[in-house]
Amino acid sequence: MENRIKKYKSLKIKLTPQRLAILNYLEGNKMHPSVEQIFKYVSRRFPSMSYATVYNVLNTLVKHNVVKEISIDPDKKRFDPYMSTHHHLVCIKCRKIIDLDMDFSIGVPEDKLAGFTMMGNHIEFYGVCAQCRGKDKD
Amino acid sequence: MENRIKKYKSLKIKLTPQRLAILNYLEGNKMHPSVEQIFKYVSRRFPSMSYATVYNVLNTLVKHNVVKEISIDPDKKRFDPYMSTHHHLVCIKCRKIIDLDMDFSIGVPEDKLAGFTMMGNHIEFYGVCAQCRGKDKD
DNA sequence: TTTCCATTTTATAAATATTATAATCTAATA
DNA sequence: TATTAGATTATAATATTTATAAAATGGAAA
Ligand SMILES: [Mn+2]
Ligand SMILES: [Mn+2]
Ligand SMILES: [Zn+2]
Ligand SMILES: [Zn+2]
């Protein structure tokens, strides 16, 4: 059996063609796509695909820790299949989101936490990407 | 003239009653309110207030660096009038957003940046707040 | 292999969130 | 006080997300 399928089998969820199509699109995808982008891509091969299914599948995958929902774009939800701990560089011009593979161990003193139990962190670095910098030299 | 009004005057924008009402609601507000919350509050005093005005005013204030739009809640935009550099503790149970007044100087090695010009960062710490921790002891 | 059924997909509607438009109104200036 | 650029309102349109129920089907059991 194909390796990828075996991997998804282990999730103990039904492997429907629609789910496989979405999983294949997400596999290795570094674009942090929105629901709209996912829908547009997979509906090319699955013309009957509906937005509801994309939402259903994504919610299921998030629940099973196969993708992360990221709150960087204030306009829409974006999804990230790259599950290792990592952070993001966000271009304030073109809104591109670039992975940053580093692990920062950021300590917060007890007295600043006010009883908050820390479980992790995510850093959004903002600035201007190489491409956008290349343009408008004003 | 009232101090607050003088401060807003310096923005060089028209000081309408609606804008003042929204500004007064935001002043010192640590709740990171959504458009809906802002609308519900100010429309109590301004029954003719419309959502469009709330969106208009907030967009203007963001443009003039009086409030920040924060992308923490994936479901809706939230706004923060606290303009000093700070970070947030986010409760994964009740979704409360708590200010963390610290300045982390996080260095990222050049080779990881790939031409990205760094301008700043925002850290979202996630975990469980004191109140939610107090409940369900399972 | 065939049957069965819990789960999923689809189609659709509804709810929620946001933006666009144009007529009306008003704060600021002279 | 009159003028006007800019703001508000009402409304419609668009975009995003969730809810619902009927139809379809993947996977287990026979
Ligand atoms: Mn990523
Ligand atoms: Mn804050
Ligand atoms: Zn860019
Ligand atoms: Zn909480």
Is A32:A97 a contact under the CB 8 Å cutoff? yes
- Measured at the CA of A42, the angle between CA A39 and CA A46, to 5 degrees, comes to 110
**Which of the ligands is closest to the CA of residue B72?**
2
User: Distance between CA B9 and CA B13 in Å, rounded?
Assistant: 7
Same domain, A14 and A48: yes
Same domain, A62 and A99: no
Co-location of B33 and B53 in the same domain? yes
Phi first, then psi, for residue A136 (nearest 5°) are -15, 85
Residue B5 Cα, gap to closest chain A Cα (Å)? 30
Within 10 Å of residue B138's Cβ, how many Cβ atoms?
Answer: 3
- CATH code of the domain in which B106 resides: 3.30.1490.190
Q: Please tell me whether residues B31 and B73 are part of one structural domain.
A: yes
Interstrand relation of A97-100 and A78-80 (parallel, antiparallel or unpaired) = unpaired
pLDDT in tens, A54-72: 999 999 999 999 999 999 9
- Give the DSSP H/E element, type plus range, for residue B100: strand B97-100
Residue A6: pLDDT band with limits 50, 70, 90 = confident
Which of the 8 DSSP states describes residue A17? H
Q: Which nucleotide is nearest to B21 (CA to C1')?
A: D8
Please tell me the distance in Å from A86's CA to the nearest CA on chain B: 12
A116-137 pLDDT per residue, tens:
999 999 999 999 999 999 875 4
Are A128 and B119 within 8 A, CB to CB? Answer: yes
Tell me, what CATH number does B16's domain have? 1.10.10.10
Question: Average of pLDDT values for B55-72?
Answer: 94
Last residue of a domain, one of B31, B60, B80: B80
On whether the CB atoms of residues A42 and A22 are closer than 8 A, the answer is yes
